[in-house]
Amino acid sequence: MSKKSAFSHQKEIEQKNEFEEKDEKEEEENEDEDDNPNNNNNNKISNIKIEDKQKDKEKNIHQDPFDISDDEDEVEDKISDLNAIPNFFKIPKPVNLFKPPLPPGASSDNPLLKKYAPLDWKTAFPTSYNICNNTLPIYISGDNGPNLICLHGAGHSGLSFAPLALVNKNYRIISFDFRGHGFNTQVPHNDLSEKTLINDTIEVLNHVHEKYPDENLILVGHSMGGSIATKTCCTILREEEKYKELYKKMQGLMVIDVVEGTAMDALPFMENIVNNRPERFNSIQKGIEYMYKSGTIKNVDSARISVPPLLKEEINSKGVKTYVFKTNLMESKPFWNEWFIGLTKAFLSCNIPKTLMLAGIERMDKDLTIAQMQGKYKLSILRGVGHIMHEDKPEEVMKVIKDFITTFRITPKEEEMKPIIGKLGNQDPNQKVVVPLKYDKWNANK
């Protein structure tokens, strides 16, 4: 006999016993009330009810207790019967079965708000202070060189590299805010010319060299910051006498998702992209939500760290507190062309170990493709990331950085270095050049 049949049989016996007990009680009550003539009509009604119940009993014992497709009047009784079914017959309801866990620090009271709650960037950069008359903020993470000097893109801040700092275990990561971005208070705040940004970067490099005089430097730049990093590197290498100490320490260049050709092609559309962004948000959480859901940043936890420094509080005309972007990107429009013009030539002329990280091979232009085939730089393509790849997948970007440093044997300090390639034609032709076998197409005289 199946479990279902056994259960139905047991149910029939219980119902039969229940009705027999009720019949006996009602017969006793009827015998007591027979002497009262006023109860005759009541007795007739009771007998009719008993007959109806008996008919219902005979009807129900032939029905499947799991069938609740009867009239609406009987549905409630059937549900009560179902609630009495033993647990091993029941299929659990999929309550919260596919609900993802809340992020760290979130509360189930308001999961939507908590999902986009800001995270403290100081966990990524425990050391931070200002230079240049207390106007230019610097963020530091890690205890060992070489020092990765990180330059952020337009509209972002130095804390864009906070997710990278959180996964870093081997190097010192140093980032800073360009003027008009993040917590930078330099004036004029809207002077984002190529020359000014290069000079500001050199100020940071000089400070880092003074603080860590024996440690090597690697420039890491994203988007606009990648172009400024490249042109800063070229400036230092070409003017050896002026930047003698920085020249010695400059050992690598890493550019993240910026190519001159594709950048120049995209500039005509930049104004529409900027103007289509929301002007203000009701809360910081809404700003984080927008940056994540719009696909600008594909990692919600990265957005929770990097987005809050991009926003500032502002009271609207109705006296309501709102949040707007600190950086007015339209003010920087006069400088968009000069940021990227000449980038490819500058990148290829920096005769030090260099790598280009892209979110897709289609972003390459002709000159870079030819140079890459000639082995003049290392190319890394990351999949499943957007433009801000160091926030989208910081672990993968850090792996590229580690491989780059290992491949070119860039050590924390200068005295530990062995020559790998020369710099901008100043290579002594009699000096032995150590070239990694994997990149034997490198040529110091090119």
d(CA 189, CA 191): 6
Question: Given 302, 387, 390, 392, which residue is catalytic?
Answer: 387
d(CA 68, CA 78): 6
User: Active site includes 387?
Assistant: yes
Distances (CA, A) of 129 to 39, 132, 177: 97, 11, 11
Structure-token match 């926030």, residue found: 391
d(CA 250, CA 368): 22
List the structure tokens of 43. 């007795």
Strands 354-358 and 250-256: parallel
The region, left, alpha or beta by phi > 0 then psi within -120 to 50, assigned to residue 328 is beta
Question: Given 222, 257, 302, 306, which residue is catalytic?
Answer: 257
Amino acid sitting at position 425: G
Question: Given 141, 175, 223, 227, which residue is catalytic?
Answer: 223
User: Active site includes 209?
Assistant: no
Element (H, E) at 313: strand 311-315
Residue 205: count of CB within 10 angstroms of its CB:
23
d(CA 364, CA 379): 10
Cβ proximity of 138 and 173 under 8 Å: no
Helices (H), 315-393: 336-340, 343-349, 366-373, 389-392
Cβ proximity of 223 and 155 under 8 Å: no
Q: What are phi and psi of 171, to 5 degrees?
A: -130, 175
Q: How far is CA 127 from the centre of its chain?
A: 23
Strands 217-222 and 127-131: unpaired
Query: Residue 220 pairs with which residues in a beta bridge?
Result: 150, 254
CA gyration radius for the chain?
A: 37
Residue 11: count of CB within 10 angstroms of its CB:
16
Distances (CA, A) of 427 to 218, 246, 440: 20, 17, 17
Please enumerate in sequence order all residues whose Cβ is within 8 A of that of 359, keeping only pairs 6 or more positions apart, or say none: 257, 381, 382, 385, 386, 387, 389
d(CA 91, CA 75): 19
User: Active site includes 23?
Assistant: no
Structure-token match 């100490």, residue found: 245
**Catalytic positions:** 223, 257, 387
